[in-house]
Chains A and B, each alone.
Chain A
């Protein structure tokens, strides 16, 4: 039941997976971080990846936009196969947005410049158009009034929301989240999760690595449990949390819930 390709209704409807990961291994020196990963993510699917630290969850999504290079197997994003070809990689990165645990906003640029940088340089958007797009994104994440501040002047929650707006401004097909709330103070987690929930409800395809089970229960189509570089169990949240199949999953869930 675990590594079987499980498609959601939406994917079956379109007939094709947005992201196909087949037989992927990843080594750091002699240490194997990913072992034979097979997973497909369909259009408008929200996949939440959970697992103990060191299980390879971050490595997996970083392989999808080539921040890490996978060693065996194939990764296909929106029909483009990831290879060493730079143009390939750039195409994939245009279609994927990533939100980091440490926000990684550009501290020397204002919020609006942070957001408009990539659309202007990569998609050759004129400045005015890019700024209008940026303001729309800022409104989507509910902080339009911060447009001309610098990241250093914002709270953690605001910075992460700017980071989300920055990725959205490139109008990606899929958003990758690498533990987006792990570096936030508790009172700011909710504001970021709310934005993510709204994104999901709006139909964005998302892969989210997180410890926030509430989020998973609310919007995930599938929950994936990884441990020691392998996908141990996959399932819809209704079944996953109430009736896990594998022992390792049960152990992990008992530790965190």
Chain B
């Protein structure tokens, strides 16, 4: 034992040569595989290099960047899109800041350390997105897009500072995020017609939640909450009567802009629908349960394309004669019907994963079922399903490419516009496809990494 104190041996360090031997040529079979793979990679790398830098016809893309990003959007209304991007930057910044603030609060409470995100860390986290955007900006050539992107980043950083806000203002912060995102939507789609409805809903929810709670389930609290919500709705309605102005409805959105918004809108609509469906599926009323189950199993058994066809060809007939819906509206309806069934299953899984002891504890404390649902079961179940919901959103984002088939000009179908141009009728098909593939990939990959990260952080284990 005394000898040890004098010796202090060092841990074995791997040399580069040792690493190669260990990882690539450990035995004959491994060596053979390595040789073959090196040859394959070298050849494909050479072809890829030639394709990207030498003989690829990328001007099909650089000349059509606007088409790819916004399709047939009226070019004189581009200021709306600029405003949208800036508002989105600000809104997402505020949202991220608020989430960060909440995380810090939790860490403080439980004594864990909170690691604030670093610039480098964020760059690494979203590298695929950032790389894609930078490549497009370089291809664009003009200064405009750079300014807009820069503006969005600056606003995002400003919004991020919301993490410094005290805890009491958190709810307000979330409200602001929601309103900013809605504003980003409505600055393009216009503030007339039913535009006040989603805003009123958000404000009503916030008003209801903000009413202070003194006793659980006190009837006065319910009444006060309802009153506040009604007041909020009225105020929003009146404001919107004042500022009503038409914009560019979503029927005219196309390109990547449409792909992203379509997915966002569908998941936003499908979430409450799926939640209700999921609860109905577990209902004690057999008729409700039976119908919900039938619906869910029906939808999950057919491909999305059948529902899109339904939307295209049948939905029109289901409405009173004379009403017409645009292709995009119909596809949103179809997408929502489709996604709601999957969301319902996810929520069912979340509810089932909750140990029975939770409900029993609530009952032992004398709570009624709706209260148990609202205050114990749903918060935990919904938190548990976040990773699965993100996965569903990624799926939806990929499935949005099916809009191509029903003739809606999404990011994929812009190629039809590009290849209708005389210069690109028969050439550059591979190039445009690669561009589209990379566009989808950059976004879906970033989302899937976030989802894995969320899963790790929430500690929701994969069984």
- B and A form one assembly: yes
Using a CB–CB cutoff of 8 Å, the interface residues on chain A facing chain B are: 2-3, 25, 27, 29-30, 32, 35-36, 71-72, 230-232
Interchain CB contact under 8 A, A230 and B11: no
* Given A3-B1, A232-B1; A29-B7 close (CB under 8 Å): no
Interchain CB contact under 8 A, A30 and B4: no
Interchain CB contact under 8 A, A32 and B11: yes
Interchain CB contact under 8 A, B12 and A71: yes
Interchain CB contact under 8 A, A27 and B1: no
Pick the contact of A230: B1, B9, B12 (CB < 8 A): B1
CB distance from B6 to the nearest CB of A (A): 10
B3 contacts A by Cβ under 8 Å: yes
CB distance from B28 to the nearest CB of A (A): 13
Question: How far is it, in angstroms, between the C-alpha of A106 and the C-alpha of B11 when the chains are bound?
Answer: 36
Smallest CB gap from A71: residue in B: B12
Interchain CB contact under 8 A, B1 and A71: no
Q: Which residues of B contact A29 (CB under 8 A)?
A: 11
CB distance from B382 to the nearest CB of A (A): 34
Interchain CB contact under 8 A, A36 and B11: no
CB distance from B259 to the nearest CB of A (A): 45
Question: How far is it, in angstroms, between the C-alpha of A36 and the C-alpha of B6 when the chains are bound?
Answer: 11
CB distance from B166 to the nearest CB of A (A): 42
Interchain CB contact under 8 A, B3 and A36: yes
Q: Which residues of A contact B3 (CB under 8 A)?
A: 36
Interchain CB contact under 8 A, B7 and A36: yes
Interchain CB contact under 8 A, A27 and B7: no
Pick the contact of B1: A2, A30, A32, A72 (CB < 8 A): A2
Smallest CB gap from B3: residue in A: A36
CB distance from A182 to the nearest CB of B (A): 24
Interchain CB contact under 8 A, A35 and B4: yes
CB distance from A91 to the nearest CB of B (A): 19
Pick the contact of A30: B7, B9, B11 (CB < 8 A): B11
Interface code B1-17, partner A: CB below 8 Å = 1, 0 otherwise?
10110010101100000
Interchain CB contact under 8 A, A27 and B4: no
Interchain CB contact under 8 A, B9 and A72: yes
Smallest CB gap from A37: residue in B: B4
Interchain CB contact under 8 A, A25 and B9: yes
Q: Which residues of A contact B7 (CB under 8 A)?
A: 36
CB distance from B47 to the nearest CB of A (A): 39
Pick the 10 closest A-B CB pairs, nearest first: A27-B11, A36-B4, A35-B4, A71-B12, A2-B1, A3-B1, A25-B9, A30-B11, A230-B1, A72-B9
Smallest CB gap from A232: residue in B: B1
CB distance from A7 to the nearest CB of B (A): 19
Question: How far is it, in angstroms, between the C-alpha of A27 and the C-alpha of B14 when the chains are bound?
Answer: 13
Can you report 9 residue pairs joining A to B where beta carbons are below 8 Å apart?
A2-B1, A25-B9, A30-B11, A32-B11, A36-B7, A36-B9, A71-B11, A71-B12, A231-B1
Question: How far is it, in angstroms, between the C-alpha of A29 and the C-alpha of B4 when the chains are bound?
Answer: 19
Q: A27-B11, A36-B7 are in contact. List 17 more A-B contacts (CB 8 A).
A: A2-B1, A3-B1, A25-B9, A29-B11, A30-B11, A32-B9, A32-B11, A35-B4, A36-B3, A36-B4, A36-B9, A71-B12, A72-B9, A230-B1, A230-B4, A231-B1, A232-B1
Residues of chain B from 221 to 254 with CB closer than 8 A to chain A in the complex: none
Q: Which residues of B contact A230 (CB under 8 A)?
A: 1, 4
Interface code B132-151, partner A: CB below 8 Å = 1, 0 otherwise?
00000000000000000000
Question: How far is it, in angstroms, between the C-alpha of A2 and the C-alpha of B1 when the chains are bound?
Answer: 7
Question: How far is it, in angstroms, between the C-alpha of A72 and the C-alpha of B7 when the chains are bound?
Answer: 12
Q: Which residues of B contact A25 (CB under 8 A)?
A: 9
Smallest CB gap from A86: residue in B: B27
Question: How far is it, in angstroms, between the C-alpha of A72 and the C-alpha of B4 when the chains are bound?
Answer: 13
Question: How far is it, in angstroms, between the C-alpha of A90 and the C-alpha of B9 when the chains are bound?
Answer: 29
Q: Which residues of A contact B1 (CB under 8 A)?
A: 2-3, 230-232
Question: How far is it, in angstroms, between the C-alpha of A30 and the C-alpha of B12 when the chains are bound?
Answer: 9
Q: Which residues of B contact A231 (CB under 8 A)?
A: 1
Residues of chain B from 279 to 305 with CB closer than 8 A to chain A in the complex: none
Residues of chain B from 1 to 47 with CB closer than 8 A to chain A in the complex: 1, 3-4, 7, 9, 11-12
